[in-house]
Amino acid sequence: MFKKFVSYYKPHWKLFTADIIAATLMGAIDLIFPIVSRKTLNEYLNTDNIHMLYIIAGVMIGFFVLRFFFSYFIGYYGHIMGIRIETDMRRDLFHKLQLMDYQFYDKKKTGVLVTNLTTHLHDISEMSHHAPENIFISILMLIGSFILLGLINWRLTLIIYVFMLLLVLFSLYRRKKMIQRFKEIRVVQGELAARVESSISGIRLTQAYSNREYEEARFEKSNNEYKKARIRVFKELALFGTGNNFLINMANLAALVFGGLFVYKGYITIVDLTAFFLYINFLIQPINRLVNSMEQIQQGMSGFAQFYEVMQKEPEIVNPENGVVKQDFEGKIEFNNVVFDYEEEDDDKKHLLNNFNLTIEPGKKIAIVGETGVGKSTLSKLIPRFYDVQAGEILVDGINVKDYDIKFLRSAIGHVQQDVFIFYGTIKENILFGRPDASFEEIIDAAKKAQIHDFIVSLDDGYDTIVGERGVRLSGGQQQRISIARLFLKNPKILLLDEATSSLDNITEKQIQKALDLLALNKTTIIIAHRLSTIKNADEIIVLGKDGIMERGNHDELLENKGYYFDLYEASVMI
């Protein structure tokens, strides 16, 4: 994990090097001041050479001016480096999230992932700038101060060293507990973000059911857990900070007592003791810097641990090396002895699909019906490899879907679902999602085919109308037609319609059905439907049950058989 963290400095090594050099020179200037003070007090003030005092003062002013610029460089360009590292990490994490498959998102909460992309990376940014700089300056100041203290009086230095050793041991002991507390708070923080994201996304449902109190109670629970986690963190920080301050105060007291004793015995002069106290300050200053930045370092490292965890995950759906790239898809689909279940494979249990077999010829319109939970929608998710089968194979144009380049396989497949996703943005941007390089004329043509153009141009901003979060400013039918317009732009060879009209009123359904019929021309089409009235014209209807295919045939044939489909149709007519 540390190697991965360090790798993000590589593209910015010039800025990092300049930052460290500036920090080194600033630390060196700090160490010079006590040396000059001691020299001035010991030599020049005991002589008539008062002019040398003015010269030294002028030189030190020059050094302090330089220190001002070094400090500015660290404060400004150091943060720029941190921002660049944060940006690189966010780019890599977002890219990783785009590669992850359905299985990953089945187990992850959106709020947690958003927190990883925002809050956690900001903490990492601050740490990536301050931690190396603080650690480097602190080590430089500690070593430099210790050497210079030893040159002034080695006896007093050894006494101070004992307290510094105790300080280091205490810090290491408390650090382990702090790491654990910061890990806990990252988990709770992600849960809180997930709760907020879920609550805001579902605010309309909450208001529709008048469940404000229930939702507030659930939020309060997460909020209190976060509060308790923060309290535990600050308890550890308080113990860490007060313990360090106690040992630092004891070191100062020891320097005062033993320093006074050494002056009395003639082991050290008053001037040297004064310089010694100045260096003790420079010895303690880096320790204080590390103590004060410990929260930032722990937050950053625990945030990076979350980042690293996601970056280490690999998608279960892997693109094959030298995957098949095919432009001229015919659209033949074959399921051969397919075994699949959403849970881990277990040979002793009943799978959702067991040795399932089905062949769909190119250009055919196939409807799949059956009760809930028999795997109708699952079939539509297996063809584009949103999930992989556990046994058997699925072929498209005679080639196993696992052998295709995923991008090209999915480019040949269009998916229309009941729950349409509309991005926040304009209508034009949402339609353009079907093919980002399409011209505006092609967008209009797609909208006309989807029977949504007239509605769009009736709006004040036309195609530039903002649709709101998840298309909240559009009706269900309008959202469906925009999703169909996307598919007209994409123009796939295989069309998967997963209950695309089941939640619409009859008039809207008929309008959308016209658009879908136009879209399905000369395409292999699989229709998953509850409303049997929408599949009368299908070339073949597949009736699925828990044990696989129960019946198959066209509408009239299945009615004549008076089997399960007949019962379904009679029930739908009565409704």
Is the per-residue pLDDT at 389 higher than 60? yes
The pLDDT of residue 38 is 67
Choice between 502 and 551, residue whose per-residue pLDDT is larger: 551
Q: SS3 of 389, please?
A: coil
Instruction: Give me the mean pLDDT over the 190-217 stretch.
Output: 71
pLDDT band at 403 (very low <50, low <70, confident <90, very high): very high
Is the per-residue pLDDT at 393 higher than 90? yes
Mean pLDDT is lowest, of 63-67, 97-101, 182-186, 486-490, for 182-186
pLDDT band at 129 (very low <50, low <70, confident <90, very high): confident
Is the per-residue pLDDT at 503 higher than 70? no
Mean pLDDT is lowest, of 95-109, 226-240, 290-304, for 290-304
Please write down the HEC assignment for all residues of 468-484: CHHHCCCCHHHHHHHHH
Instruction: Give dist(CA 399, CA 320) in Å, integer.
Output: 13
Is the per-residue pLDDT at 526 higher than 80? yes
What is the end-to-end Cα distance of the chain in Å, rounded?
60
Instruction: Give dist(CA 523, CA 414) in Å, integer.
Output: 10
The pLDDT of residue 205 is 59
The pLDDT of residue 69 is 92
Instruction: Give dist(CA 552, CA 368) in Å, integer.
Output: 9
The pLDDT of residue 31 is 76
The pLDDT of residue 334 is 93
b/e string for 108-135 if b means 16 or more Cβ within 10 A? bbebbbbbbbebbbbbbbbbbbbbbbbb
Instruction: Give me the mean pLDDT over the 177-183 stretch.
Output: 78
* Closest to 516 measured CA to CA, from 537, 546, 530: 537
Is the per-residue pLDDT at 395 higher than 90? yes
Is the per-residue pLDDT at 407 higher than 80? yes
Q: Please list, in sequence order, all residues whose beta carbon lies within 8 angstroms of the beta carbon of residue 294, skipping any fewer than 6 positions away.
A: 175, 178, 237, 240
Instruction: Give me the mean pLDDT over the 486-505 stretch.
Output: 79
Name the DSSP class of 44.
Answer: I
Q: Give me the domains of the chain, ranges plus CATH numbers.
A: 2-312 (1.20.1560.10)
33-66, pLDDT tens digit by residue?
767 766 666 665 555 666 777 777 788 888 889 9
Q: Quick check: 536 and 505 in contact, CB under 8 A?
A: no
As beta bridge partners, residue 395 has: 334, 400
The pLDDT of residue 132 is 81
Instruction: Give dist(CA 25, CA 91) in Å, integer.
Output: 34
* Closest to 54 measured CA to CA, from 40, 68, 35: 40
420-462, pLDDT tens digit by residue?
788 888 889 888 888 888 899 999 998 988 888 988 999 888 9
As beta bridge partners, residue 339 has: 391
As beta bridge partners, residue 550 has: none
Residue 60 burial (10 A CB sphere; 0-12, 13-18, 19+): middle
Mean pLDDT is lowest, of 100-104, 225-229, 233-237, 287-291, for 287-291
Amino acid at 465: T
Please write down the HEC assignment for all residues of 62-110: HHHHHHHHHHHHHHHHHHHHHHHHHHHHHHHHHHHHHHCCHHHHHHCCH
Name the DSSP class of 505.
Answer: -
Mean pLDDT is lowest, of 40-44, 151-155, 546-550, 557-561, for 40-44
Instruction: Give dist(CA 394, CA 379) in Å, integer.
Output: 10
15-27, pLDDT tens digit by residue?
889 988 888 888 8
301-351, pLDDT tens digit by residue?
878 888 888 888 888 888 888 888 987 888 899 999 999 888 655 544 556
As beta bridge partners, residue 413 has: 494
The pLDDT of residue 397 is 92
61-89, pLDDT tens digit by residue?
888 899 899 988 988 888 888 888 888 98
Angle formed by the axes of helices 110-117 and 119-152, to 10°? 40
Q: Considering the chain, what percentage of its residues have pLDDT values greater than 90?
A: 7
Is the per-residue pLDDT at 364 higher than 80? yes
The pLDDT of residue 400 is 93
Is the per-residue pLDDT at 531 higher than 80? no
Is the per-residue pLDDT at 206 higher than 70? no
The pLDDT of residue 394 is 93
Q: What share of the chain is helix, strand, coil (3-state, %, to 5)?
A: 65, 10, 25
Q: Order across the sheet with 353-360: list the strands.
A: 353-360, 333-340, 391-396, 399-400
Q: Quick check: 130 and 123 in contact, CB under 8 A?
A: no
- Mean of per-residue pLDDT scores for the chain: 81
- Give the Cβ contact number of residue 257 at 10 Å: 11
The pLDDT of residue 20 is 87
Instruction: Give dist(CA 331, CA 494) in Å, integer.
Output: 6
The pLDDT of residue 528 is 87
